[in-house]
Structure formats: C-alpha cells, structure tokens
Amino acid sequence: MICVRLINNDYRYDVTELIKVFYFNQQVVFIDTIRDYSKGLLIEVGLIDRLAFTKVYKDSKLIYEVRIDMGSVNIGDCDLEKRRKIAIIQSLYDALDNLSAVKAPWGVLTGVRPVKIVHKLLDKDYVDGEILSILKDGYRLYDEKARLLVDVAKKQRKHIYPLDENRFSLYIAIPFCPTRCLYCSFPAVSVEKFSHLVDEYTEKLIYELDMIGEITRSKQISTVYIGGGTPTAIPYKNLEKIIQAVYRNFDREEIQEFTVEAGRPDTINEEVLKVLMENGINRISINPQTMNDKTLKLIGRQHKTKDIIDIYYLAKEIGFPIINMDLIVGLPGEGVREIKTTLKEIEKLDPENLTVHTLAVKRGSTFRKVMDQYEIKEQEVIYEMLSEIKDFTEKMKLEPYYLYRQKQILGNFENVGYAKKDMECIYNIKMMEEKETVLAAGMGAISKIYFPKEDRIERVPNVKSLNEYLIRIHEMVERKKVHLT
Ligand SMILES: C[S@@+](CC[C@H](N)C(=O)[O-])C[C@H]1O[C@@H](n2cnc3c(N)ncnc32)[C@H](O)[C@@H]1O
Ligand code: SF4
C-alpha cells in the first residue's frame, strides 16, 4: 500500500494513474493528515506559491525530494491551471523515476491517445524541434517515444484535415466469436451458444443502419469498419445482408475504405472471402496474434500457424489489396525467441498493415483470473521484443501511422498500427484522433459525434448486452437522433 497526501491540489486521478505506472499492483490510499500514516511509503505531492514538490518518505524518514518552479515548465502556451498541474505531476514523475526500477518511457502521460497532444501543437504552428522539446522536457517522454508521436501525427494529418462536420465514418459491431480468447475483454458472445439469436441480431442491426441512413441524408460518409467480435463468425449470408444494407443506405461512391475484420482464421474460408470481395470490401484483417502453435492453443484460438498462412495466401489470390495482421507482444510463455519466429513467418507473407499490441491484463478477461499460473515477462524483455518489431517494421517498410495506449498494458508500452506507404487504415486514424463523427451500430458500439467548432466529442453508447440490444433497438436509434437532427 502507498499512502499519498495531496497539498494544495486535488489531482487524485492523475496522481494515482502515474503511481500505478511505477507500482503496478500497489494500492494507492489518500490520507488527509500525517496522523493517518504510520509506516511504509508516503508520498506528499503539492504546490506552495509557484513551487511544485514531491516528498517521499519510507517508514517516516524522508528519502527523496523534488522541487519544480512552475515558470520552468515547458509545454507550450497554456493556462495557469494546466501549468500548475504539469509542474506537480512532473515533480511526482521525477521522484518515482528516481526511486523505482520501473521505466516509464511515456513520461507523465497516462492517457489513451497521446498523439492528440502533437496535433494540438501542430495546429498552433509549433515546429518539430519545439514539439520534441515540449514532449521530452515538459511531458518527460523518452526520445524514441517523442519521435514516434511526431512521426505518427504527421502521417495522419492528410486524413484528418480539413475538418468537416458533415462527414462521418460508420462502425458496425458483430459481437460473436467462436471461442473466448484468454486475454480478451471485448463485449462478445459465443456464436455457438447464441446461434439462435444471430438472425434476429442481423435484422435489428440492419434496422439500426436504415435509421442511421435516414438521419444522415444530408451528410457524407467516408469510411466503414465492420468489427467485433469476429464478423466472419456469423453465416456469410448474414454478413452479406449487412454489407448490402450499408450500400442501400449510404453513397457507395463516397466510401473511401471498407474494412471487415475477418479476424480468426478458423472463421474464414474461400466462400466467405469471395463474398467479401464481390461486395466491395477492400481491407480485411487476418489476425495471427502469434505464429507459435503452442501459444495459440494456450490463448484459446482454434487455429494453427499453417491455417493463418493458407488463408492469407488465399485472400491475396482472391485479390484483397490491403490485409492487416494483428499481433500481441507479451503473450504467456512468449519471449524474444517466439517473437522472432512470428516475425520470420510474417516476413514471408509481407502484409500491407501490421498492428502490434502489447498485452494488457484486462479486468474482464480470463487471463486476469489465472495470471498467477503464468510468468509475466519483465519490462526489459517486453522492450527487447518491441525492439525486434521496430527493426522488423523498418526492414519491411512498414511505417507507424496510429497509436494508442491502454490501462494495465505490460511494461507501460503501447499499441502501434504500421502500414506500407499510402496504405494506412483511414478509419483507425479517424477513430483514434476523434476529429470526425463516428456513427456506430450494434451491441456495445459507441458513436462519437464530433463538434469541430468546440473541438469536442459527445459519446453515445449502445447497450453492451445482446438481449438488451435486441429489446431496446428503438432506444439505440433515438439516442443518436437526439444528437444528429
Ligand atoms: C477487438 S479484437 C478483434 C479481433 C478479432 N476478433 C481477433 O481476435 O482476431 C482486436 C485486437 O485487439 C487485440 N487485443 C485484444 N485483447 C487484447 C489484450 N488484452 N491485450 C492486447 N491486445 C489485445 C488483439 O490483437 C485483437 O486482434
Ligand atoms: S480476441 Fe477476437 S476472437 Fe478472441 S474473444 Fe476477443 S474478439 Fe473474440
């Protein structure tokens, strides 16, 4: 347990999040007075006049102290409140960085979308050198992460600007999977157990698409993404009806990119791929996660490496121009050797997109309950594995184009999408940077309405339970109507 006493501030959330970066499994308890502390670690974080400070005590003895003058905080032009907050959080970061063996390459940043900071600075005409210095001095990022953010932001801008409040992307959720993967916490149900509801789900989903079509008549569609779950887990006739409903409701000519997350190789065959191709899908995902059969079995995927390879070649033969492959670094039992094996196989396939996730130990996952049975790799090993991936992507001319971070991610790392030149997934960029409305249909799907003038989004979530979605479908439509008409 770590005791924390805040002095002249109330940044509980930010302080907790940053402490958890360095002390992953520790409970953080806030105390009001020193009388509530007796032994163990006590961190005092505060501000007196313009001086931010962090003092760390161990068993009542002061072991470290940092002071930062608010005037020295380099984060570009910002209001006093933000400067005060960053000074306080910087002092906490500097103290923990000194005391803990854990590395925090993302500095004081604990949010999901760090690229947004760079877009804001670019919008204000800061040049690269200034941005890098703000990221490194102000936000305490390691040099490689700062450069990664700038590279990613620059790649994205042509897909984001000019902002247009009449343009939107469409997300469609198919929340069915063949089996539950060990690490997964996404809202999805077993397609076998709920097969009796697949037709009704298709029907209700199409109704929702029809209604979204009606309320967006004066707007312009840009990209479509069918994700899940595993969209190809449902019969292809259902999937085809859903795709046709998209074309019936929205201007097909305007759709720049249409992705279907085929995901699990055990749900794809020649027939499904041909149906997707005939229906104008120009980007699919075939996700290995790993190319080691032992791990695939352990994480509960029903396919083998050979199935991934066979399906990939088949999809290429059928003619899909962009295929994405998802990988996860840090899967149980995997180290540098296993990553090298995976990359050797991926090299032969040479996909246009590669999305590299670092394992996140999610609360809702089976893994969280059984993680004690497995060895969780040290931060240095994860770093080494990610370095292998960095070298590999450079060699394969795959460039980073979108990035996000998650809570409970191993080693404080990140998820990065890589793409060959001009083959970035436009939907992923728009969805991550939140500069265009995304209208979302289906169970658990979250619409985000973007207001460019105020640069803010409004979240409009659909319900996360299958039965509730089927019963409350009219309410899901009404929720969106309120914001759009
Ligand atoms: C929503 S899932 C859908 C993909 C598809 N159903 C599949 O499994 O192939 C998208 C991706 O997130 C990644 N993912 C899911 N859970 C994760 C976790 N706990 N940690 C890291 N990555 C995760 C996987 O790489 C997965 O392919
Ligand atoms: S990782 Fe994909 S296939 Fe596995 S349970 Fe999650 S959504 Fe389903």
User: Tens digits of per-residue pLDDT, 335-369?
Assistant: 999 999 999 999 999 999 999 999 988 887 888 88
CA 36 to chain centre: 39
Cα–Cα distance, 5 to 237 (Å, whole number) = 60
- Which atom of ligand 1 is nearest to 365's Cα? 19
Write down which residue in 49, 76, 101 finishes a domain.
101
Cα–Cα distance, 5 to 29 (Å, whole number) = 9
Tell me if 432 sits within 8 A of 355, measured CB to CB: no
For residue 289, the CA-to-ligand 1 centroid distance in Å is 8
User: Tell me, what CATH number does 321's domain have?
Assistant: 3.80.30.20
- Shared domain for 264 and 362, answered yes or no, is yes
For residue 90, the CA-to-ligand 2 centroid distance in Å is 38
For position 161, what pLDDT does the model report?
95
Region 323-338: mean pLDDT is: 96
pLDDT above 80 for 25: no
Region 252-266: mean pLDDT is: 95
Is residue 175 lining ligand 1, measured as CB closer than 6 Å? no
- Shared domain for 8 and 81, answered yes or no, is yes
In the β-sheet with 51-58, what is the strand arrangement from edge to edge?
Answer: 28-30, 2-7, 41-48, 51-58, 61-69
Number of domain units in the chain? 2
For position 168, what pLDDT does the model report?
98
- Shared domain for 202 and 299, answered yes or no, is yes
Task: Kindly identify the ligand whose nearest atom is closest to the C-alpha of 177.
Answer: 2
- Phi, psi (deg, nearest 5) at residue 304: -110, 170
Tens-place pLDDT, residues 196-224: 999 999 999 999 999 999 999 999 999 99
- Shared domain for 307 and 437, answered yes or no, is yes
Is residue 360 lining ligand 1, measured as CB closer than 6 Å? yes
Residue nearest atom 2 of ligand 2, based on CA coordinates: 229
For residue 383, the number of C-alpha atoms closer than 13 Å in the C-beta half-sphere is 11
Cα–Cα distance, 442 to 238 (Å, whole number) = 14
- Which atom of ligand 2 is nearest to 300's Cα? 4
For position 260, what pLDDT does the model report?
98
DSSP secondary-structure letter at 43? E
Range of the domain at 67: 1-101
Which has more confidence, 263 or 53?
Answer: 53
Cα–Cα distance, 409 to 320 (Å, whole number) = 32
CA dihedral 393, 396, 399, 405 (to 10 degrees): -30
For residue 62, the CA-to-ligand 2 centroid distance in Å is 48
Cα–Cα distance, 332 to 85 (Å, whole number) = 38
Q: Where residue 77 falls among pLDDT bands split at 50, 70, 90?
A: confident
- Which atom of ligand 2 is nearest to 183's Cα? 1
Task: Kindly identify the ligand whose nearest atom is closest to the C-alpha of 175.
Answer: 2
Tell me if 311 sits within 8 A of 286, measured CB to CB: yes
Is residue 367 domain-resident? yes
- Shared domain for 309 and 439, answered yes or no, is yes
Degrees (nearest 5) of the Cα angle 358, 464, 359?
Answer: 10
Is residue 143 domain-resident? no
354: left (phi over 0), alpha (psi -120 to 50) or beta: beta
Return the residue matching tokens 């032994």: 39
Is residue 120 domain-resident? no
Q: Which of 183, 184, 357 to mutate to test the pocket of ligand 2 (most atoms within 8 A of CB)?
A: 184
CA 320 to chain centre: 25
Region 321-333: mean pLDDT is: 96
Q: Where residue 298 falls among pLDDT bands split at 50, 70, 90?
A: very high
Tell me if 426 sits within 8 A of 222, measured CB to CB: yes
Q: Where residue 171 falls among pLDDT bands split at 50, 70, 90?
A: very high
Q: Which of 323, 328, 363, 377 to mutate to test the pocket of ligand 1 (most atoms within 8 A of CB)?
A: 328
Cα–Cα distance, 293 to 313 (Å, whole number) = 19
- Which atom of ligand 1 is nearest to 362's Cα? 19
For position 92, what pLDDT does the model report?
98
330: left (phi over 0), alpha (psi -120 to 50) or beta: left
Q: Where residue 150 falls among pLDDT bands split at 50, 70, 90?
A: very high
Is residue 308 domain-resident? yes
Residue nearest atom 7 of ligand 2, based on CA coordinates: 229
Q: Where residue 61 falls among pLDDT bands split at 50, 70, 90?
A: very high
Which has more confidence, 369 or 2?
Answer: 2
- Shared domain for 85 and 175, answered yes or no, is no
User: Tell me, what CATH number does 90's domain have?
Assistant: 3.30.160
Tell me if 76 sits within 8 A of 124, measured CB to CB: yes
For position 164, what pLDDT does the model report?
94
Tens-place pLDDT, residues 80-107: 899 999 999 999 999 999 999 999 999 9
Q: What percent of the chain shows pLDDT beyond 90? A: 87
For position 174, what pLDDT does the model report?
98
- Shared domain for 309 and 417, answered yes or no, is yes
Please count the other Cβ atoms lying within 10 Å of the Cβ belonging to residue 394: 11
Tens-place pLDDT, residues 385-414: 999 999 999 999 999 999 999 888 888 899
**β-sheet bridge partners, residue 66:** 54
For residue 178, the CA-to-ligand 2 centroid distance in Å is 8
| Tokens representing residue 460 in the block | 């409009």
Write down which residue in 50, 79, 101 finishes a domain.
101
For residue 181, the CA-to-ligand 2 centroid distance in Å is 5
Region 162-180: mean pLDDT is: 96
Which has more confidence, 78 or 449?
Answer: 449
- Which atom of ligand 1 is nearest to 301's Cα? 8
- Shared domain for 192 and 89, answered yes or no, is no
Is residue 371 domain-resident? yes
For position 461, what pLDDT does the model report?
97
Task: Kindly identify the ligand whose nearest atom is closest to the C-alpha of 179.
Answer: 2
Inter-CA distances, 333 with 219, 326, 375, 379, Å:
49, 18, 7, 15
pLDDT above 90 for 36: no
- Shared domain for 357 and 252, answered yes or no, is yes
399: left (phi over 0), alpha (psi -120 to 50) or beta: beta
Spatial CA neighbour of 352 closest among 266, 282, 434, 451: 282
Is-cis flag, bond preceding 263, omega within 30?
Answer: no
Region 28-37: mean pLDDT is: 88
For position 435, what pLDDT does the model report?
96
Is residue 130 domain-resident? no
pTM over 0.85: yes
pLDDT above 90 for 469: yes
- Shared domain for 198 and 72, answered yes or no, is no
Tell me if 299 sits within 8 A of 467, measured CB to CB: no
For position 39, what pLDDT does the model report?
85
Spatial CA neighbour of 276 closest among 230, 303, 239: 239
For position 256, what pLDDT does the model report?
97
H-state helical runs in 292-407:
293-298, 305-318, 336-349, 366-370, 379-395
Cα–Cα distance, 163 to 154 (Å, whole number) = 16
Task: Kindly identify the ligand whose nearest atom is closest to the C-alpha of 328.
Answer: 1
Is residue 393 domain-resident? yes
For residue 17, the number of C-alpha atoms closer than 13 Å in the C-beta half-sphere is 16
For position 370, what pLDDT does the model report?
81
pLDDT above 80 for 180: yes
Cα–Cα distance, 62 to 43 (Å, whole number) = 10
H-state helical runs in 110-142:
115-123, 128-133
- Which atom of ligand 1 is nearest to 287's Cα? 9
Q: Where residue 263 falls among pLDDT bands split at 50, 70, 90?
A: confident
Helix axes of 336-349 and 305-318: crossing angle, nearest 10 degrees: 20
Cα–Cα distance, 93 to 99 (Å, whole number) = 10
Degrees (nearest 5) of the Cα angle 73, 75, 80?
Answer: 70
Is residue 350 domain-resident? yes
For residue 124, the CA-to-ligand 2 centroid distance in Å is 40
For residue 57, the CA-to-ligand 1 centroid distance in Å is 41
Pocket of ligand 2 (CB under 6 A): 177, 180-181, 184, 186, 188, 228-230, 263-264
For residue 370, the CA-to-ligand 2 centroid distance in Å is 18
Write down which residue in 101, 134, 154 finishes a domain.
101
- Shared domain for 305 and 185, answered yes or no, is yes
For position 8, what pLDDT does the model report?
93
- Shared domain for 351 and 454, answered yes or no, is yes
